[in-house]
Structure 1
Amino acid sequence: IHRAFIFGLYTGVRWCDTNQLTYRNVDYSTKTLRFQQQKTKDHSSRSWVIVPLNDTLIRLIGEPSDDNFDERVFKLPHYNICNLYLRKWVNEAGIKKKITWHCARHSFAVNVLTKGANIKTVSSLLGHTSIKMTERYLHVVDSLKQDAIDSLGEINYAPM
C-alpha cells in the first residue's frame, strides 16, 4: 500500500488505475507506463494515458515474478482498507488534515505545476480529456505569485 501511494504521488495515477496496473503496462525499454483509464467511459484513444518513468519509478514498480507480465504491480486490498492504512500513517506523522488516496493525485498535479510544468503537459499526464479539468489545480500555483513578489524584498524609494 505504501509503495502504491508513493507511486501515486510521483505519477498522479488514480487508485483505481494503480490497482489494475500489470507489468504488461510497463515498457522497460522505453521507460513508459501505458494504461487505459478505468474512470473514463469513453474508451477511445483519448482514454489511454502514457506516463514517462524515471529510474526511481522503475525501481518502485519492480520486476514481475517468473516473467508473469499479467501479474499486478501493486497487490492492493479494497480502496477503503487502503485509506484506513493511509489514515493511520497520517495520524502517526501528526498530520491533522484529512488525507485520502486522491490527495496523492492532487499533490502530484500541484507539485509539477509549481515546478514549472505547463498545464497541457499536466493535463495529459493526469489523463484529463480537457484542460478545464486541470485548471482547478492552478489556484494553488496562483497563490505562489504573491510569495514570488514578496521574496524580492523592500524597495527603499523616496519620491523626489
Structure 2
Amino acid sequence: MNIGEKLNRKGDKILYFYDYGRKRGQRPSTGIFTYVNPKNQEQRNFNKEALKILETKKSQLTIEQQSIGTPIIPTHKFKANFLEYYEEYVKLNKRRGSRHLENSFTQFKEFVNIDFIPPVDITENLCTRFRRYLLDKFTGETPANYYSRFKWVIKAATKDKYFSDNPTEDIAAQSNPSSKLKDNLEEEEYIALLKTPCFNQQVKLAFLFSCYTGLRWVDVKRLEWLDLIGRKLVTRIIQKKTGKPVVLTLHPVALAILQQVRNMAPYECTGRVFDLPTADGANKVLQQWVCDAGINKHITWSCARLSFSILLKDQNVDDPTIAYLLGHTTTEQVQKTYKRHRPKDQEEAIGHLPSFKITSFI
C-alpha cells in the first residue's frame, strides 16, 4: 500500500493521497496534510500526530487488502457502538414513502435509553424485551412492522460478523390487534361533514381531501403543490414492483377542495398545500366538527383512510384496485385492515331472504 504526497497550490502544505495506480480515481485523498515548514511548536506537534494517523490508515488498508478472499474481517471495520451501525443501516436502506425502518431505530433508541450500546449487549433477552416494549406501546401491525425491521438490521449485523449467532432467530415479530374497532364514515356522513362549518377551514379541507384520496395524516400534512399534476396526484409512495410513485386520479370533490385552497391563497400556491396544526390539535378540531355535524362516532384522521376503502368496497371495486389506491402492492391489508367490520344496513341485508305471507302458513 503506497501513500503519495504533493504540495498544495501555496506550497506551504504537503497533501497525502492513496496511490492505487495512474488511472482516473486511483489516487484518492487521505484527508491528511502536514506543514512544509512548521512555524511553531503547535504546528510541529500537528505534523507528528498527522503522520501517526497516516501510518495507522496505511496499516489498516494493508490489512484490508490482505484479508480479501478470507473470512477474516479487520477489527477496525467494526463499529463499537451498535447504535451507529443501526443508524448507518437505516441511511443506506431507507426507502422513500416507508417510515418503518427509521421508526424502528427511533423506538430502539428510546427502549435502550442510552447513547452507547456495544454489540455484545444485544442478546436474545434484550431482543425479547424490545419486542415486548413495542407490543406494550403500539397496536395493530405497527409492533410487527418495527420489530421485523429490527430483525433486518440484526440479520445484516450477523452476516457482518458482529454476532456469531443471530439473537433474534427464535423471536418472531408479533402484531397487536386492537380490541376496539375503528369507526368509519358512511356516504351520508360524508355529505353531513361537507355541509357543516368547521372553525379551522384548513383542517376541514385536508380531512375531506383524505376521505376522497385515502391519504394518511402524514401524507396530507406534507402534501406539496408539486405533487399535483392536472387531475393527478403523484404520491411519495413508491411501488416495489415498478419502482415508480403511485399516481392517483383525483375525484371531482378532491379537485374542488384544491381549488378552494387556491382561492384562499391565490398567490401562495407553492410549498405545502395545507397549513395544518399538530396531529393532536387536528384531531381535536376534527372531533368537534364531527360532533357539530351530528355524527355520534369517534372519528380520528385515520378513519378517513378506512372510510375511503370501505365505501369503494361497497361499490364492488375490486381489492387490487383499492390496494393500489392505498399505496399497497398486495391486497393483504385491504382484506385484513381496511374492511367493513359492522353491517351498514341490517334491514337491507335480511331483505334478501325469501319472502312470503306468514298467514298462509298458519
TM-score of the aligned structures, taking structure 1 as reference length? 0.78
Residue 98 of structure 1 aligns to a residue in which SS?
Answer: coil
Q: 1:57 to 1:36 in 2, by over 3 A?
A: same
- The alpha-carbon deviation at position 35 of structure 1 amounts to 1.5
Deviations 1:48-103 (A, max 9, x none): 322111333222112474475x4211111111110110111123334342210000
Structure 2 CA distance for aligned equivalents of residues 9 and 17 of structure 1: 13
Asked whether the equivalents of residues 46 and 129 of structure 1 are also in contact (C-alpha less than 8 Å), the reply is no
Matched, 1:2 2:204: yes
Structure 2 CA distance for aligned equivalents of residues 11 and 26 of structure 1: 13
Q: 1:77 to 1:147 in 2, by over 3 A?
A: same
Asked whether the equivalents of residues 34 and 48 of structure 1 are also in contact (C-alpha less than 8 Å), the reply is yes
Q: 1:118 to 1:145 in 2, by over 3 A?
A: farther
Q: 1:44 to 1:153 in 2, by over 3 A?
A: closer
Q: 1:65 to 1:130 in 2, by over 3 A?
A: same
Q: 1:114 to 1:77 in 2, by over 3 A?
A: same
- The alpha-carbon deviation at position 32 of structure 1 amounts to 0.8
Pick 1 or 2: higher relative contact order, CA cutoff 8 A, min separation 6: 1
Q: 1:51 to 1:92 in 2, by over 3 A?
A: same
Matched, 1:13 2:215: yes
Residue in structure 2 matched with residue 114 of structure 1 by the alignment: 314
Structure 1 CA distance for aligned equivalents of residues 210 and 333 of structure 2: 18
Structure 1 CA distance for aligned equivalents of residues 355 and 241 of structure 2: 55
Structure 2 CA distance for aligned equivalents of residues 122 and 66 of structure 1: 35
Structure 1 CA distance for aligned equivalents of residues 247 and 288 of structure 2: 32
Q: Where do 1:72-151 residues align within 5 Å? A: 72-136=272-336, 137-140=338-341, 143=343, 150-151=350-351
Asked whether the equivalents of residues 15 and 102 of structure 1 are also in contact (C-alpha less than 8 Å), the reply is yes
Structure 2 CA distance for aligned equivalents of residues 44 and 36 of structure 1: 15
Q: Where do 1:21-100 residues align within 5 Å? A: 21-28=223-230, 31-37=231-237, 45=242, 48-62=245-259, 63=262, 65-66=266-267, 68=269, 70-100=270-300
Q: 1:44 to 1:87 in 2, by over 3 A?
A: same
Residue 49 of structure 1 aligns to a residue in which SS?
Answer: strand
Asked whether the equivalents of residues 11 and 108 of structure 1 are also in contact (C-alpha less than 8 Å), the reply is yes
- The alpha-carbon deviation at position 139 of structure 1 amounts to 4.4
Structure with greater Cα Rg? 2
> Deviation above 2 Å: which 4+ runs of structure 1?
42-49, 62-68, 90-97, 136-141, 143-159
Structure 1 CA distance for aligned equivalents of residues 207 and 345 of structure 2: 29
Structure 2 CA distance for aligned equivalents of residues 74 and 125 of structure 1: 21
Structure 1 CA distance for aligned equivalents of residues 224 and 271 of structure 2: 5
Structure 2 CA distance for aligned equivalents of residues 65 and 44 of structure 1: 38
- Code of the aligned partner of 2:335: E
% same residue:
28
Asked whether the equivalents of residues 235 and 245 of structure 2 are also in contact (C-alpha less than 8 Å), the reply is yes
Structure 1 CA distance for aligned equivalents of residues 304 and 285 of structure 2: 14
Deviations 1:8-59 (A, max 9, x none): 111111110001111111111xx1101113xx8x988557322111333222
Asked whether the equivalents of residues 122 and 134 of structure 1 are also in contact (C-alpha less than 8 Å), the reply is yes
Specify which structure has the higher proportion of helix.
1
Asked whether the equivalents of residues 19 and 74 of structure 1 are also in contact (C-alpha less than 8 Å), the reply is yes
Q: 1:150 to 1:43 in 2, by over 3 A?
A: closer
In structure 2, stretches of 5+ residues that fail to align are 1-202
- Code of the aligned partner of 1:111: L
Structure 2 CA distance for aligned equivalents of residues 93 and 51 of structure 1: 29
Structure 2 CA distance for aligned equivalents of residues 121 and 107 of structure 1: 15
Structure 2 CA distance for aligned equivalents of residues 51 and 129 of structure 1: 14
In structure 1, stretches of 5+ residues that fail to align are none
Q: CA RMSD in A?
A: 3.1
